[in-house]
A and B are shown apart, each in its own frame.
Chain A
Amino acid sequence: RKEVEQDPGPFNVPEGATVAFNCTYSNSASQSFFWYRQDCRKEPKLLMSVYSSGNEDGRFTAQLNRASQYISLLIRDSKLSDSATYLCVVNMGWTNAGKSTFGDGTTLTVKP
């Protein structure tokens, strides 16, 4: 079983749709969680951190469920520019040199 698992998709949605991605992690000692966005043939870029209380940044909402060991990303009112691969990232914390484990990514295509 992979340490971090994501539904690879692809998710094909029309503009304006709401779409949600889930990500599960296997290590209950994981300390911090992130969503990254990666455009085709580009480096990943940090989209948002995921906090225990849940957090929102504009159209994006991230949630963490430690009991069930999953995180989620909700995108409302999808834009064409949201088309990308979304990577779930789990960090084991400073005691592990801050190493992170990446999911393989979920591909989103937003269509006109």
Chain B
Amino acid sequence: SQTIHQWPATLVQPVGSPLSLECTVEGTSNPNLYWYRQAAGRGLQLLFYSVGIGQISSEVPQNLSASRPQDRQFILSSKKLLLSDSGFYLCAWKETGGNYGYTFGSGTRLTVV
């Protein structure tokens, strides 16, 4: 069966520090991968998605970036965090070629102080 792992679960970082969140998927090949952010009390905002290794599409211009160095690995990064980067970050995957629902990782709650 397919599983998705996301870490860390909680992170407190100072303004201006770098960020690296990692997500890996097991039990499937060539998944579509996504990074979402959810601000407190708000809906999910799509940040990045990837349909293959090295293929990244950005939905919202910001100081975050994403990379997909391996088929089942998706990384969210920032060189310098802003206060506004605080939120609940969720990695998700779905099968390619079809109208399927997402499976989400357990999320990372980031607080920038």
Interface residues of A, Cβ cutoff 8 Å to B: 31-32, 34, 36, 41-46, 49, 87, 89, 91, 93-94, 97-105
Judge whether B109 and A41 touch: CB under 8 Å: yes
Judge whether A94 and B44 touch: CB under 8 Å: no
Q: How many chain B residues touch A (Cβ–Cβ < 8 Å)?
A: 27
In the complex, 29 of the A-B residue pairs with CB atoms within 8 angstroms, ordered by the A residue number, are A31-B99, A36-B101, A42-B106, A42-B107, A43-B90, A43-B104, A43-B105, A43-B107, A44-B102, A45-B104, A46-B102, A89-B101, A89-B102, A91-B99, A91-B101, A93-B99, A94-B96, A97-B49, A97-B57, A98-B94, A98-B100, A99-B59, A100-B102, A101-B46, A102-B36, A102-B44, A103-B43, A104-B42, A104-B43
Q: State the CA gap A99–B94 with chains docked (Å).
A: 10
Say yes or no for B20: interface residue by CB 8 A criterion: no
A5 to chain B, nearest CB (A): 10
Q: State the CA gap A45–B1 with chains docked (Å).
A: 16
B34 (CB) vs chain A CBs: closest residue: A99
Judge whether A43 and B106 touch: CB under 8 Å: yes
Interface residues of B, Cβ cutoff 8 Å to A: 32, 34, 36, 42-44, 46, 49, 51, 57, 59, 88, 90, 94, 96-107, 109
8 smallest CB-CB distances across A and B, nearest first, come from A32-B99, A104-B43, A43-B104, A102-B44, A46-B101, A34-B101, A43-B107, A98-B32
B33 to chain A, nearest CB (A): 10
Q: State the CA gap A34–B104 with chains docked (Å).
A: 14
User: Which residues on A sit within 8 Å (CB–CB) of B42?
Assistant: 104
Partner of B51, one of A45, A49, A97: A97
Q: State the CA gap A93–B96 with chains docked (Å).
A: 10
B36 to chain A, nearest CB (A): 8
User: Which residues on A sit within 8 Å (CB–CB) of B88?
Assistant: 41
